[in-house]
Structure 1
């Protein structure tokens, strides 16, 4: 009864536009007061500080900063030129370029919203000029940006690893194959739309131009080598790779001698605010986590579901539906911080690999970013394209279907995403 009352209070606070972090902290304080009294509040400040200063979480602002430097330093433009020369000859090539560059940008920023803001402002106007509808332009940009929470380095994966006490490096490796499969599927849907609406090709395939743009973009390719090569080679942790990514982005930007300081300043301010929101959520979750742990709520949930079924496939199906619904209403960071600590005991008792489950969670939340009413990535893309969210959603449903197919594949054929983890770490 107490848990139900606190949950109702939490939902009510969120519904009246109280920030989620504040509502979460208030609900946690109420729970601690009700179960342990006033004395339980003595260490709240220290607990919140400790929760928000985990070493692994330092990677979040570093990757956000690396993405900002990359976009302000002329790196993004060179990537677009290279991908355009490589696949622009395909019908609907500009949509393919959008997806291809998002795939690369995801390896730097780890943030889908940052991807939309960076890519959308450049590519959406160009797509509209070339005959793409605003709805299709926004849908392609939004769905491809969600690769940022599947492809390493993924900020939601970092948060999951901190919440579930599992390896972020293994999560990063597990995200590679689903990310590439998702990109291929999105390109397939984009090609279908291009044939359907007779969208143009960009230019004939020209080997000298491909070579020239590749050489021009070659320094930019050092960024994923530094990040992924360092992590997969076991030379650095994910947090250390984030710091190296910032240094590499600065060096590459200096090489190109094109840094938009005004844009960089604004991107850093936006990234700082985004990081502050996430860290406040992490700190607030400590209070709720303390209450839930003492009240044995996660254990009770695990026992309740295991009493219904112990089959892994059924448990994964229940959790998939649960996270898809949660994704409609919560941002990915809030959903991970609020829900993952509750379901981890169930995962452990059911014998499900926490790395496998982490991938399932992040794929679910990638889909949640595309589904109203919250749909933070979709809303950002619609704002850039100046398109109606419901019109965009009608088109975007085909791209979301690709992400759902990748989710089902990774859920029930775990060897597909995990074979690289097995190769590198087990």
Structure 2
């Protein structure tokens, strides 16, 4: 009964436009007072501070900063030129370029919103100029940006690893194959639309143009090598890789001598605010986690579901549905922080690999970024394209279907996300 009252209070506060972090903390504090009295609040501030200052969380602002430097330093432009020279000759070339560049950008920023804001401002106007509809341009940009939370590094993966106490490096490795599968599927849908609506090709393939674009972008390729190579090779942690990514992005931007300081300042401020929101959520989640742990609600939930079924595949189906619904209404960071600590005892009891489950959660929340009413990434893409969100959604359902297919494959064929994990970590 107490848990229901706390949940109703939290939802009511959110509906009153109270920030989610504040609603979460207030609800948890009231729950602790009812459960154990005011004496339980002595260490709340210290617990919140300790939760938000974990070493692994430092990677979040570092990856956001690296993405901002990329945009301001001309690095993103060179990635676009290289990918355009490589695959732009295919029918619907700009759509494929959009997806391809998102693959590269995802390996540095870790944020889907940052991806869609950076790529959308460049790619969507070009696509509309070449005859692509605003709805299609926004849908491609939005759905491909969600690859940023599947392909490492990924801010939601960092939050999940912190909440579930698992290796963020192994989570990053698990995201590689699903991310590539998702990109291939999105390109397949784009090609279908290109054939159906006779969308244009870009310039014919030229080895000379490709070589020039490759040489020009060559320093840029050091970024994913540093991040992924360092993590996969076991040379650095995810947090250390984030710091190295910032240093490398600064060095490459200085090499290109094309730093837009106004753009950099704006991107850093936006990234700082985004990071602050996430950290407040993390701090508030520590209080809620303490309340849930003392009240034993996660264990009761695990026992209740295991009383219905002990089949881990059926449990994964139930949790998939649950996270898809949660994704309609909550930002990915909030969903992870609110829900993961509650379901982890169930995952452990059912014998589900927590790395496998982390990938399932991440994919669910990537889909949630595309489904109204919240749909933070979709809304950003629509704002850039100046397109109606429902018109975009009618096109985007085809791309969402791809993400759903990848989710189902990763859920019921664990070897897809875990193959590289087993290879690198045994």
Query: Deviations 1:27-70 (Å, cap 9, x if unpaired)?
Result: 00010000010111111110100110010000000000000001
* Aligned mates of 1:300, 1:172 — CA distance in 2: 31
Q: Residue 363 in 1 paired to residue 367 in 2?
A: no
Q: Secondary structure at the match of 1:204?
A: coil
Q: Secondary structure at the match of 1:269?
A: helix
* Aligned mates of 1:416, 1:297 — CA distance in 2: 32
* Aligned mates of 2:116, 2:105 — CA distance in 1: 10
* Correspondence for 1:62: 62
* Correspondence for 1:235: 235
* Correspondence for 1:287: 287
Q: Residue 385 in 1 paired to residue 385 in 2?
A: yes
State the 1:166 CA deviation: 0.1
* Aligned mates of 1:75, 1:296 — CA distance in 2: 50
Q: Residue 253 in 1 paired to residue 253 in 2?
A: yes
* Aligned mates of 2:224, 2:47 — CA distance in 1: 36
Q: Secondary structure at the match of 2:374?
A: coil
* Aligned mates of 1:390, 1:280 — CA distance in 2: 32
* Aligned mates of 2:418, 2:42 — CA distance in 1: 44
* Correspondence for 1:344: 344
* Correspondence for 2:197: 197
* Aligned mates of 2:324, 2:151 — CA distance in 1: 19
* Aligned mates of 2:117, 2:11 — CA distance in 1: 30
* Correspondence for 2:216: 216
Q: Secondary structure at the match of 2:420?
A: helix
State the 1:385 CA deviation: 0.1
* Correspondence for 1:183: 183
Q: TM-score, normalised by structure 1?
A: 1.00
* Aligned mates of 1:330, 1:222 — CA distance in 2: 35
Q: Secondary structure at the match of 1:372?
A: coil
* Aligned mates of 2:306, 2:3 — CA distance in 1: 20
* Aligned mates of 1:415, 1:259 — CA distance in 2: 43
* Aligned mates of 2:63, 2:346 — CA distance in 1: 31
* Aligned mates of 2:150, 2:363 — CA distance in 1: 7
Q: Secondary structure at the match of 2:245?
A: helix
Query: Deviations 1:316-336 (Å, cap 9, x if unpaired)?
Result: 000000000000000000000
Query: Deviations 1:190-241 (Å, cap 9, x if unpaired)?
Result: 0000111100001100000000000000000000000000000000000000
Q: Residue 151 in 1 paired to residue 126 in 2?
A: no
Query: Deviations 1:282-303 (Å, cap 9, x if unpaired)?
Result: 0000111100000000000000
State the 1:273 CA deviation: 0.3
* Aligned mates of 1:246, 1:117 — CA distance in 2: 19
State the 1:16 CA deviation: 1.1
Q: Give the unaligned 5+ runs of structure 2.
A: none
* Aligned mates of 1:317, 1:7 — CA distance in 2: 24
* Aligned mates of 1:3, 1:342 — CA distance in 2: 12
Aligned length: 426
Q: Give the unaligned 5+ runs of structure 1.
A: none
* Correspondence for 2:401: 401
* Correspondence for 2:325: 325
Q: Residue 135 in 1 paired to residue 135 in 2?
A: yes
State the 1:417 CA deviation: 1.4
* Aligned mates of 1:157, 1:38 — CA distance in 2: 35
* Aligned mates of 1:317, 1:150 — CA distance in 2: 20
* Correspondence for 2:112: 112
Considering only aligned residues, what root-mean-square deviation do their CA atoms show, in Å? 0.4
Q: Residue 15 in 1 paired to residue 15 in 2?
A: yes
Q: TM-score, normalised by structure 2?
A: 1.00
Moved over 6 A (4+): none
Q: Secondary structure at the match of 1:153?
A: coil
* Aligned mates of 2:216, 2:260 — CA distance in 1: 19
State the 1:156 CA deviation: 0.1
* Correspondence for 1:125: 125
* Aligned mates of 1:282, 1:55 — CA distance in 2: 13
State the 1:416 CA deviation: 1.2
* Aligned mates of 1:174, 1:185 — CA distance in 2: 18
Q: Secondary structure at the match of 1:373?
A: coil
State the 1:118 CA deviation: 0.4
